[in-house]
Amino acid sequence: MRKLSLLVCSLVLLSLAACGSSSNDLPPIPAGSGGGGDTPVATTASIMGKISFEGEVPKPGKIITSADPNCKKELFTEDTKVSDGGLENVIIYVSGGDVAGKSYPVPSTPVEIDQMDCHYIPHALVIQVGQKLAVKNGDMTLHNIHTLGEANTTWNVGQAQQGMVNDHVFDKPEVLLPVKCDVHGWMRAFIAVLNNPFGTVSSQGGKYELKLPAGKFEITAIHEKYGKQTAMVEVKDNDHSTVDFKFKASDAKSGN
């Protein structure tokens, strides 16, 4: 009888552990060129689509990198990256709807951004409030990481050696939060700090996929240069809806 009780208890514990594991081990959000890491929230539906680009695609500008001989010679601006008619580096995230008033567990895995060949990889990324951002210096040169948040406190730290990693945590939601390197003035990255785990970045061909729980959501697509658009979407369990966005060349913000 005692052995039977132990067996039952063990089975219950194992099944509980398995349940926990099934919710925690969901595949990470496909994040295009950057994403929020693992999502410790059950996501049973998804939306996917394409961020198309209309109008003349601006030619990427060649960056003069002669100020630092350690930087790659051939670097181009990344503010408009279009492939197969789709705009890359657009951040798509849940900005309202059934996420309002809810709190979500913070993923334990950090979101990583690397400085390689004097540019940021990825160029755009999503992170959750409280989640760790790990900034790595993959270059044989010096960088400083300088966040230009308005809601979040400014962070500016130097990395003098290759391989250095510095961590930072944002404590308030903020979209978009630019990151720059003052050593190499052309280096820019953009972060969406969200208070939910539902965000991703468009990749090759402007495609994206955003995993969601069932519910009604406001979806925002935002780009550093072409502004933002929103759409309302309602998904049920196992739904796979399509939501496309279109950005126009004429929407480009002019620099000051």
Site residues for other proteins per CB under 8 A = 67-70, 141-142, 144, 146, 154, 156-158, 160, 181-185, 256
Which residues, other chains included, contact 140 with Cβ-Cβ below 8 Å and sequence gap of 6+? 70, 162
Question: Is residue 204 helix, strand or coil?
Answer: helix
For residue 124, what are its two tokens? Answer: 């755009």
Rounded Cα distance between 147 and 178, Å, is 6
Which residues, other chains included, contact 83 with Cβ-Cβ below 8 Å and sequence gap of 6+? 204, 205, 206
Buried/exposed 156-190: b ≥16 CB within 10 Å, e otherwise: eeebeeeebeeebbbeebbbbbebbbebbebbbbb
| Minimum CB distance to other proteins smaller for 24 or for 144 | 144
